[in-house]
Structure 1
Amino acid sequence: MDLPVMPPVKPMLAKSVAKIPPHMHYEAKWDGFRAIVFRDGPEVELGSRTGKTLTRYFPELVESLAERLPQRCVMDGEIVIVREGRLDFDALTERIHPADSRVRTLAGTQPASFVAFDLLALDDESLTDVPLTDRRALLERALADVTAPVHLAPATTDREVAERWFEQYEGAGLDGVIAKPLDLRYRQDERAMFKIKHERTADVVVAGYRLHKSGPVVGSLLLGLYDDGGILQHVGVSAAFPMKRRAELVTELEPSRMPDVREHPWAAWADEAAHETARLPGAPSRWSGKKDLSWVPLQPDRVAEVAYDHMENGVRFRHTARFRRWRPDRTPESCTYAQLEEPVNYDLAEILGP
């Protein structure tokens, strides 16, 4: 492979803002695996956000990209899997599997797609110092007749259209809106774009915590919600605290600390088979390797308000929740899935086409 932009490339990133800024280029924020695609004739390489290769995990996509992209190019985009008209992030994570036979089985039953939204090189020319508007025009020409499973990400410079996308597209599993300055050059590994994500709040049970890697302070709070059967299901974590606050939380939570996990609703957390019928804190597995996943059990008697963007398959927070405050006025039993706001469904085919 001999391209004007060579792997590894760390993709350009975005910083969070509260509102959609005016006078910019707008795209939907895709919820998949960020990927830089390198094609040089018959050679195709998929680079991840960290610079590691994703190529072996998506053989069907490598084949499709080789058939549909320009002969020599480097594109930035997102690998996604669509199921029943929505993005399915869980199906993507299943692909990162050590067994090639498993990867190829999933490639046949749950094929991936690629949504392109930037062009870093074409033929023998690097485009990283070219303004975004010009890169976008070249990308549109390069993918003018492209067919599924490769797609050109919809884009607009109309803020009202972007606001409508922000409201509608969440129903298809998308993550918000990305805003990019019109004259933006491609700046690797820099937060030069802006992301606007949905934020909601929920009252959750704090049922345990993991220690921080630096010592005996709180690393993350383990959060739960009660399902219709009265079972406390693990729905995610809250982890972003200043170091001083991490130490304070240990003291605050001490009255609720349990001597061991045997009487806890998540007592079976270390049994991988138990995860098939209940949502529990992550058990040691081939994915976690030697990572310490042990946690401190708490009596499920404390309620916290957290902010979240959206739910994954309606059962867990897709991203780390953000702690807002304790809610001593709420009972743990009142922390159910029923309080959660769900977006109106929106068929992904309306965005990408059939």
Structure 2
Amino acid sequence: MQLPVMPPVAPMLAKAVSEIPDLGHTEPKWDGFRTIVFRDGDEVVLGSRNERPMTRYFPELIEAIKATTPPRCVIDGEIIVASDGQLDFEALQQRIHPAASRVKLLAEQTPASFVGFDLLAEGDVDLMPRPFRERRERLIAAFGSGSDQVFLTPATSDLAEAREWFHAFEGAGLDGVVAKRLDDPYQPNKRAMFKIKHERTADCVVAGFRWHKTGDIVGSLLLGLYDDAGRLQHVGVTASFSMARRRELLDELAPYRQDESAEHPWGGGADNGDQLPGAGSRWNAAKDLSFVPLRPELVVEVAYDHMEGDRFRHIPSFRRWRPDRDPRSCTFAQLEQPRTAMLSDVLGRG
């Protein structure tokens, strides 16, 4: 492979802001695996955000990329998986598997797509120093009509439309929107773009904690919500605390610690359909996911962006304790439901 921009390349990043800036260019924020495609003729490499190749995990994308993109190019974008017309990040995670036979099967069962949003090189030309305005124009020309697996991300220059997209696209599983300066060069590993994500709050029951990797302080609080059957379901953790605060939490939680022999909502097996927090990690088999059980009497308010199924998609942020809330009132019913949308609605815009 001989390209003017060679792998690995660290992708340009975005910093979070609360409002959509009027920069003349806004795109949907895709919830997938950030990927830079390097293509030199029949040779294609898929580079990940951590600069490691992911080519072997998505074999079905190779031919689709070769059929859609210029013979020699470098394209920044996102690998996504859709189920029932909406993004399915859980299915996407399952695609990272060490067994070649499993990779082949999943490529057939849950095929991935690639959404391109920046052109870093074409032919012998390094486009990274060029303004984004030029890179976007060349990307549109390079993609042509796209395909059923390789897409050009839609974009708008209208701030009012960008605000509408922010709300309209969430129901299809998108994170929010990204705003870009039209005059900026491509800046690897720099937070030179702006991301605007949904933020909501929820009151959750704290029913356990995990130890911090450094020793005898709190690592994370385990969060639960009650379902319609009155069962406390594990929905995620909150973990953004200073070291001093982690030590303080150990003393604050001490009165609620429960003997392992006592009855706990997350004790016993997982054969009743409940979501339990002690299952093994498919990413790291050696990772200790055991927890210290707490009586489910504490309520905490957390901020989150959106749910994936019945769990927080990203780790929510601790906001405050809620001693005024009855733990039994912390149910899934409090969660805001986004507007229904389909990926076809998103890709048909712009």
Q: TM class, shorter-chain normalised?
A: over 0.9
2:49 and 2:262 map into 1 onto residues whose CA distance is 40
1:275 and 1:102 map into 2 onto residues whose CA distance is 25
- 1:109-144: CA deviation from partner (whole Å, max 9, x where unpaired): 211110000011101111111111110001011012
Structure 1 gaps of 5+ residues are none
Task: Provide the alpha-carbon RMSD of the alignment.
Answer: 1.5
Quote the residue 2:13 is aligned against.
Answer: 13
Quote the residue 2:193 is aligned against.
Answer: 193
Distance 1:179 1:200, change over 3 A: same
Is residue 350 from structure 1 mapped to residue 345 from structure 2 by the alignment? Answer: yes
1:322 and 1:261 map into 2 onto residues whose CA distance is 31
Quote the residue 1:55 is aligned against.
Answer: 55
SS of equivalent to 2:169: helix
1:100 and 1:244 map into 2 onto residues whose CA distance is 46
Retained in 2: the 8 A contact 1:261–1:267?
Answer: no
Quote the residue 1:81 is aligned against.
Answer: 81
1:211 and 1:131 map into 2 onto residues whose CA distance is 47
Question: Superposition pairs for residues 1-354 of structure 1, below 5 Å?
Answer: 1-260=1-260, 263-268=263-268, 274=270, 277-313=273-309, 315-353=310-348
Shift of 1:349: 0.5
> Runs of 4+ in structure 1 displaced over 4 angstroms?
none
Q: Please tell me the residue identity of whatever aligns with 1:319.
A: H
2:272 and 2:91 map into 1 onto residues whose CA distance is 16
Q: Please tell me the residue identity of whatever aligns with 1:240.
A: S
- 1:84-112: CA deviation from partner (whole Å, max 9, x where unpaired): 11100011011011111111111112111
Q: Please tell me the residue identity of whatever aligns with 2:140.
A: E
Shift of 1:259: 2.4
Shift of 1:318: 0.4
Retained in 1: the 8 A contact 2:281–2:287?
Answer: no
1:55 and 1:48 map into 2 onto residues whose CA distance is 9
1:187 and 1:207 map into 2 onto residues whose CA distance is 43
1:262 and 1:243 map into 2 onto residues whose CA distance is 30
1:85 and 1:227 map into 2 onto residues whose CA distance is 26
1:250 and 1:327 map into 2 onto residues whose CA distance is 18
Structure 2 gaps of 5+ residues are none
Distance 1:208 1:139, change over 3 A: same
SS of equivalent to 1:6: coil
Q: 115-124 or 104-113, which moves further after superposition?
A: 104-113
1:44 and 1:141 map into 2 onto residues whose CA distance is 20
Q: Please tell me the residue identity of whatever aligns with 2:302.
A: V
SS of equivalent to 1:45: strand
Retained in 1: the 8 A contact 2:11–2:188?
Answer: yes
Q: 85-94 or 280-289, which moves further after superposition?
A: 280-289
Distance 1:275 1:90, change over 3 A: farther
Identity of aligned residues (%): 60
1:252 and 1:264 map into 2 onto residues whose CA distance is 19
1:261 and 1:75 map into 2 onto residues whose CA distance is 56
Shift of 1:207: 0.9
Distance 1:241 1:110, change over 3 A: same
Retained in 2: the 8 A contact 1:261–1:297?
Answer: no
Shift of 1:265: 1.4
- Taking structure 2 as the reference length, what is the TM-score of the superposition? 0.96
Q: 151-160 or 256-265, which moves further after superposition?
A: 256-265
Distance 1:222 1:275, change over 3 A: farther
- 1:216-263: CA deviation from partner (whole Å, max 9, x where unpaired): 221111100011111111101111112211111111111111122762
SS of equivalent to 1:245: helix
Q: Please tell me the residue identity of whatever aligns with 1:253.
A: L
- 1:168-203: CA deviation from partner (whole Å, max 9, x where unpaired): 000111000101111111111111111100011111
